[in-house]
Chain A
């Protein structure tokens, strides 16, 4: 199974270290292979370092892709994490 969804980064600091850590913690809960794409750059959704190199700033639209048995849940949960600003206030 393969799923993907686009989502806008809305938190002020974008994919900074702490935010990315929150994302990775979430994505590690799923068995599926997770990729995050920003423009032409694609990164492993379970690698904190990889995600940081996406340089996803506020306002950018990124794509979350998952492949595996829990792909659908993974994508919808990870989109939520981003929509919830990684738990940040702004």
Chain B
């Protein structure tokens, strides 16, 4: 039984699919004489598998870019077939009676030393071509250790050290029942994706990939953060019972689907959903969201070997906009950089990527890519109600420049008589302290604000939420964060514009209660959280939320606010339940 951080609710029982194991240190292992031949076979199989991997990448590149770019893959294939390369490793396995990984590393070391002796820095780089290939083989060797190197045919629970956005994008989402990762917190990429796909997930389960194998039976409890491995009949039955209860609870929530999100004293809160893949729109409609409050467009860029064309982007946006049938879809322009990279788009390595060339900064520095995206969004806007949102605005000039480019693109479309929504609303994300402090001025330039609480917390408290050593400081209830939200809301309302919160805070009922009290007009969370937030909204008085937020704003510590808030929420829910 493993304990981790509950990241997305629900209980599933199914077999594990262990992927991208943590790349462990290569250790030297003695291999018994009678197993030498098997070890050599293992190496050969891994090399074969690597060849197949490379061939499929090559085909993808030929398809996406063209023949000339695929040459390097031919070179890799030839290298894999080279006698000196694989042959040397096999000799080391035989003569030293060692494991394949170690033998390969010896070969690599030999070449690395050779290339390192050379002063010409360019030739030194040649060593890297080879080490990249060795890494691929070692990864395949690791997989050959598990019972099954490929995904099971049935549905499965993905178990991984970490899931990058690219990993998730490549997944067969129809087959994934749940996620378990070794790293990450409740606001990690995996957690966000799991919640929006309504798939149970547990993150932060240390060292689980080391002991699990593909095919092991797992019980995953996304609400308690528990993962049970190959459980006995007793545990299994208990969980099947829990699963029934959970389904029942879900069914109760579903009854709220068609009801409005209004407080007892008739204050309306708009409840929207965040999405990153067009295929999530099903869950959005299923939970009857008022609109899409945040359509993250990065994934259209990330799941690729090259830049998506205007047509491809247009199709994705159009699909979402048309499926929402008149409900608004807020499309955020690409938020690349920070921890999100593109394989085909080189971003210079930075000391502090989160303080570097990311989001709107990257778009303004690469205007051709930006214009292409704006054109695709504008064209799609003819098929429903779209809004455009710029991420990570930190100075007024950025919003001015972005809007100027948008006007130019509009003009271009107009002159070509391409239809689009000429009155499309434009907003900005408020997620850095400078934008909060300048929110009154920024509000005059835009039609709406959306507060990205994930980044706002990170930048306000100066904490990297992925860094375990400081992640305890990452807290949405930090008084500085609450005061920033309040300031943003006041600036917006004074200028007659609305404020939405699209960070993870919006999806947690008791935090949503506080946000409503701070005056936030719209909440946008993952589709799965909508109904529980709606249940909360319908159980409280707006007046109580205002009073609670007022009191919280006067407090000095996050812990103090947390105790106060949970106490208030429990009391209010108890009162309404008693009254009902």
The reply to whether B111 and A48 form a contact with Cβ atoms under 8 Å apart is no
With A13-B122, A21-B78 as known contacts, state yes or no: A53 contacts B114, CB within 8 Å: yes
Alpha-carbon gap, A21 to B126, bound state (A): 13
Alpha-carbon gap, A44 to B85, bound state (A): 13
Alpha-carbon gap, A10 to B481, bound state (A): 61
B123 part of interface (Cβ distance < 8 Å): yes
The reply to whether A21 and B85 form a contact with Cβ atoms under 8 Å apart is no
Set of chain A residues within 8 Å of B76, measured between Cβ atoms: 17
**Number of contacting residues on B, CB 8 A?**
22
With A48-B79, A49-B79 as known contacts, state yes or no: A18 contacts B71, CB within 8 Å: yes
A14 part of interface (Cβ distance < 8 Å): yes
Alpha-carbon gap, A1 to B167, bound state (A): 56
Alpha-carbon gap, A70 to B71, bound state (A): 27
Set of chain A residues within 8 Å of B120, measured between Cβ atoms: 55, 57
The reply to whether A48 and B75 form a contact with Cβ atoms under 8 Å apart is yes
The reply to whether B71 and A16 form a contact with Cβ atoms under 8 Å apart is no
Which residues of A in the span 1-29 have a Cβ within 8 Å of any Cβ on B? 13-18, 20-22, 24-25
The reply to whether A49 and B72 form a contact with Cβ atoms under 8 Å apart is no
**Which residue of chain A has the shortest Cβ distance to B81 in the bound complex?**
A48
B424 part of interface (Cβ distance < 8 Å): no
B64 part of interface (Cβ distance < 8 Å): no
The reply to whether B83 and A17 form a contact with Cβ atoms under 8 Å apart is no
B430, chain A: closest CB distance, angstroms: 48
With A17-B72, A57-B122 as known contacts, state yes or no: A24 contacts B78, CB within 8 Å: yes
The reply to whether B123 and A57 form a contact with Cβ atoms under 8 Å apart is yes
Contact with A along B61-95 (1 / 0, CB 8 A): 00000000001101110110011110000000000
B416, chain A: closest CB distance, angstroms: 36
Q: Chain A interface residue count: which class?
A: 20 to 34
A-B contact count (CB 8 A): 60
Alpha-carbon gap, A39 to B19, bound state (A): 47
Which residues of A in the span 23-45 have a Cβ within 8 Å of any Cβ on B? 24-25, 44
The reply to whether B75 and A53 form a contact with Cβ atoms under 8 Å apart is no
Secondary structure class of chain B's binding surface, majority of residues: helix
B246 part of interface (Cβ distance < 8 Å): no
**Which residue of chain A has the shortest Cβ distance to B83 in the bound complex?**
A47
The reply to whether B78 and A25 form a contact with Cβ atoms under 8 Å apart is yes
B469, chain A: closest CB distance, angstroms: 40
The reply to whether A55 and B83 form a contact with Cβ atoms under 8 Å apart is no
**Which residue of chain B has the shortest Cβ distance to A28 in the bound complex?**
B78
Alpha-carbon gap, A44 to B115, bound state (A): 18
B130, chain A: closest CB distance, angstroms: 8
Set of chain A residues within 8 Å of B82, measured between Cβ atoms: 47-50
A81 part of interface (Cβ distance < 8 Å): no
With A17-B79, A21-B71, A25-B78 as known contacts, state yes or no: A47 contacts B123, CB within 8 Å: no
The reply to whether B122 and A17 form a contact with Cβ atoms under 8 Å apart is no
Q: From B83, B111, B122, give the contact of A53 (CB < 8 A).
A: B111
Alpha-carbon gap, A32 to B120, bound state (A): 33
Q: From A21, A50, A57, give the contact of B84 (CB < 8 A).
A: A50
A48, chain B: closest CB distance, angstroms: 5
B348 part of interface (Cβ distance < 8 Å): no
B65, chain A: closest CB distance, angstroms: 15
B24 part of interface (Cβ distance < 8 Å): no
With A17-B75, A17-B79, A24-B78 as known contacts, state yes or no: A55 contacts B123, CB within 8 Å: yes
The reply to whether A21 and B75 form a contact with Cβ atoms under 8 Å apart is yes
Alpha-carbon gap, A16 to B72, bound state (A): 10
A83, chain B: closest CB distance, angstroms: 19
B118 part of interface (Cβ distance < 8 Å): yes
B50, chain A: closest CB distance, angstroms: 15
| In the complex, the 6 A-B pairs of residues with the closest C-beta atoms, listed nearest first | A21-B75, A49-B84, A17-B129, A49-B82, A17-B75, A49-B85
Q: Which residues of A line the B interface, CB within 8 A?
A: 13-18, 20-22, 24-25, 44, 47-50, 52-53, 55, 57
- 27 pairs from A and B in contact (CB 8 Å cutoff): A13-B122, A16-B122, A16-B129, A17-B72, A17-B75, A17-B76, A17-B79, A17-B129, A17-B130, A20-B75, A21-B75, A21-B78, A21-B79, A22-B71, A24-B78, A47-B82, A47-B83, A47-B84, A48-B82, A48-B85, A49-B84, A49-B85, A52-B130, A53-B114, A55-B114, A55-B115, A55-B126
Q: Which residues of B line the A interface, CB within 8 A?
A: 71-72, 74-76, 78-79, 82-85, 111, 114-115, 118, 120, 122-123, 125-126, 129-130
Known A17-B75, A57-B120; further 11 A-B contacts with Cβ < 8 A? A16-B123, A17-B76, A18-B75, A48-B78, A48-B82, A49-B79, A49-B111, A50-B82, A50-B84, A55-B126, A57-B123
